[in-house]
Amino acid sequence: MSGRPRLRPFHGAAAGLGAIRSVARFVWRETGTREGVALLRRVNQEAGFDCPGCAWPDPAERSAAEFCENGAKGVLDEATSRRADRAFFAAHPIGELRRWSDRELNAAGRLTEPMLREAGSDHYVPVSWEDAIDLVAEALRGVAHPDRAVFYTSGRASNEAAFLYQLFARQLGTNNLPDCSNMCHESSGVGLDEVIGVGKGTVTLEDFEHADLIFIIGQNPGTNHPRMLTTLQAAARRGARIVSINPLREPGMGRFKHPQEVFRLLGAGTRMATDHLQVRINGDVALLQGLAKALLELEDQRPGRVLDRAFIQACTTGFAGYRAAVATLDWETLVEESGVARAEIERVAEAYAGSQAAIACWAMGLTQHENGVANIQELSNLLLMRGNIGRPGAGVCPVRGHSNVQGDRTMGIWDRPSEAFLTRLDAGVGITSPRGAGFNTVEAIAAMSTGRVDVFVALGGNFVAAAPDTAHTAEAMSRCGLTVQISTKLNRSHLFTGARGLILPCLGRTERDAGPAGEPRAVSVEDSMGVVHLSSGRAEPASPALRSEPDIIAALAARTLGERAAIDYVATAADYDRVRDLIARVIPGFEDLNRRVRAPGGLLLPNPARERVFPTPDGKARFIFHPLPRRELAPGELLMMTIRSHDQFNTTVYTDDDRYRGVHGSRRVVLMHPDDLGDRGLASGDPVDLCSRWRGETRRLSDFHAVPHDIPRGCCATYFPEANPLVPVGHHAAGSFTPASKSVVVTVAPAERADGAGDRRTTSTAAPRD
């Protein structure tokens, strides 16, 4: 049973001395001072390796310490001296490991050699690389149809690994290529593609130097993208207005102390957000339409001085219909649904009307709702009204949380590739790709749960923990014949396998990647703003048995395809330049890749929307109006969102503390408004049970504690992935299938068994779906 959380409210600025102390403790714990400092000096440097954390771009002029607190933790966590080796697996049966927390599993250390779980066994045992590759190849060759295999990808895979992986899957004959983007920014890609014809952001890092207003909406940079705070600090210091829109008041948007500004560490820090709009969970459409309505009212008062009429006329379509629809909205409804007062909305709209260039940044606070695509498109409407796309200091900026998730999609990791991409791939490599749509993440879970998948291969990630509806996803995985995890560290997905489970350990981003003759090799990655650059690890590998991801994929492809292979996979993967030559042949913008990627700063990929060229059917950006999503909560119900703590990266949990939110010693908490606690007869720290309801299905979690927090009434927050069992797999964004992890209807009640005799119960009435 989890312990009662210790609450120590956080006061002061984000980062600063607290970040320095936190990293120092991590260095001591994971690697030791000498090795840890040597590693950190290479993070995000020209001749070093790309941080395995977020995808925030590198500045033109880099400091000697070009990393943030959480990036440092990610690097040190990967470089840990602890090992999950054969002795570890002999000592700990799978049944025992399932009872460990995600933090405890991660703390077991680095995987060291291939491990196999045979059918019916409660232990992993060592297996040779040759036998492991043969086992996977035999299973893939034995499927009745290629679509009975699924190839999942995490966003930390390099461009070279991703390109070979999708080529292997498509030559095998399937587009079943779900990825982690399905669970986070898929709504961004779908929404933007329909509006501007490009599913990526349009800004560069330089644009932040010219913006005088920056929206930060549905995002917590202080925890999830801390390097971004340096960029925002520079904007704040030169007078840019920063508008934070979030149900939670996050310290990173309050004040920030740059840890490298030694003489300012004792001061108050830089004030970041000038405005904070504390929107209700999933009240974003109402708020954005309120801002648009206020903007249109200002235009009526000052004709021709608020809207960019020339841009709207020349570059967009659908504005007249959009304007008419917004005019029908009444302020009372917009205020009620958003939870933000009209005066606050009008104040920010006035500031926006007076700005010269504006950027909108967002993350999963917008995308993980049933109306996630609508959120993105309503935000885009706001930018289009003032011509804030395709000019200096302005544009859309979806901030990615994985270091190469955008690059993986560029390389073709997608269940619904375009015909243009497949045509180029076929011509460039000499294959005939399948044309039918593959499974995305939600569809893959449904297919596994109904026995339509025999082999599941994961290139990184922690699928079982990251996906929604944890118990259902784990049960679905068990119906596969073979599950294969290409991983660096132990995680929950290794414990819920098919009839047989295989772990293939790979090199981490920080480690030296040597070719056949011992020559150093470098992979490439793409950041959130479309810059592709090299990454070259230098640390000694955790085990001599580790292989690189491209080498593992090449061996699987060569052994599975045999004489059918369109390329010599093994020889191609041995020299990453050869992989990049294939990429250059297939993907536009990567021409002459091997030369250009070695230039200082890498190469910036073309983005037509950045130049106001919109590759939509009619060549224009589109205004798209969406009806207001209504909050339909019964008495006693709350709307829950899952969030990350300050001491985790995605499903990787470093400690049980969340320094910025003042919660220590436990992650099984639910953050609630004090009045919502009182209405339920709860006090701070009381044990509670959570129950989610969706379309007649119920899911329950026990062993949580209630914590008062500054969050709108009727809303609550829980940590990911602990609360994922409450997220219905069938509840997802329309059009993108992104799980609605931030719109979960729940009840919170005093724990049924609070006497210490209970355990962490997860129950569900959900039926299998097809």
Pairing of strands 213-217, 358-362: parallel
**How much of the chain, in percent, has pLDDT values that exceed 70?**
98
**pLDDT score for 3:** 83
**pLDDT score for 764:** 65
Rounded CA-CA distance 45/71 in Å is 13
**Is the CB of residue 286 less than 8 Å from the CB of residue 337?**
yes
**pLDDT score for 753:** 55
**pLDDT score for 76:** 96
pLDDT tens digits for range 244-287: 999 999 999 999 999 999 889 989 999 999 999 999 999 999 99
107-131: b or e for each residue (b if 16 or more CB lie within 10 Å)? bbbbbbbbbbbeeeeeebebbebee
The mean pLDDT of 691-718, rounded to a whole number, is 97
Rounded CA-CA distance 71/75 in Å is 6
pLDDT tens digits for range 174-209: 999 999 999 999 999 999 999 999 999 999 999 999
- Which value, to the nearest 10 degrees, does the dihedral of the CA atoms of residues 316, 318, 320, 324 take? -140
Give, as one character, the DSSP assignment of residue 303: T
**Is the CB of residue 671 less than 8 Å from the CB of residue 709?**
yes
Rounded CA-CA distance 638/459 in Å is 36
Nearest Cα neighbor of 714 from 73, 247, 67, 127 is 247
Helix (H) or strand (E) holding 595: helix 593-596
pLDDT for 418 beyond 50? yes
Beta-carbon contacts of residue 369 (< 8 Å; ≥ 6 apart): 187, 282, 284, 375, 629, 733, 740, 742, 743
Rounded CA-CA distance 43/30 in Å is 16
Nearest Cα neighbor of 70 from 654, 761, 730, 749 is 654
Strand partners, 151: 457
**pLDDT score for 41:** 94
The mean pLDDT of 491-513, rounded to a whole number, is 97
The pTM (predicted TM-score) of the whole model is 0.96
**pLDDT score for 630:** 83
463-502: b or e for each residue (b if 16 or more CB lie within 10 Å)? bbbbbbbbbbbbbbbebbbbbbbbbbbbbbbbbbbbebbb
pLDDT for 621 beyond 50? yes
Beta-carbon contacts of residue 682 (< 8 Å; ≥ 6 apart): 672, 688, 706, 748, 750
Rounded CA-CA distance 203/698 in Å is 42
Tokens of 506: 């790979």
Helix (H) or strand (E) holding 316: strand 316-317
**CA dist list (Å): 752 to 5, 133, 672, 698, 699:** 19, 49, 19, 16, 15
**pLDDT score for 756:** 34
**pLDDT score for 754:** 39
Rounded CA-CA distance 659/217 in Å is 22
pLDDT, mean over the chain: 95
The mean pLDDT of 2-7, rounded to a whole number, is 90
When computed from its CA atoms, the radius of gyration of the chain, rounded to whole angstroms, is 25
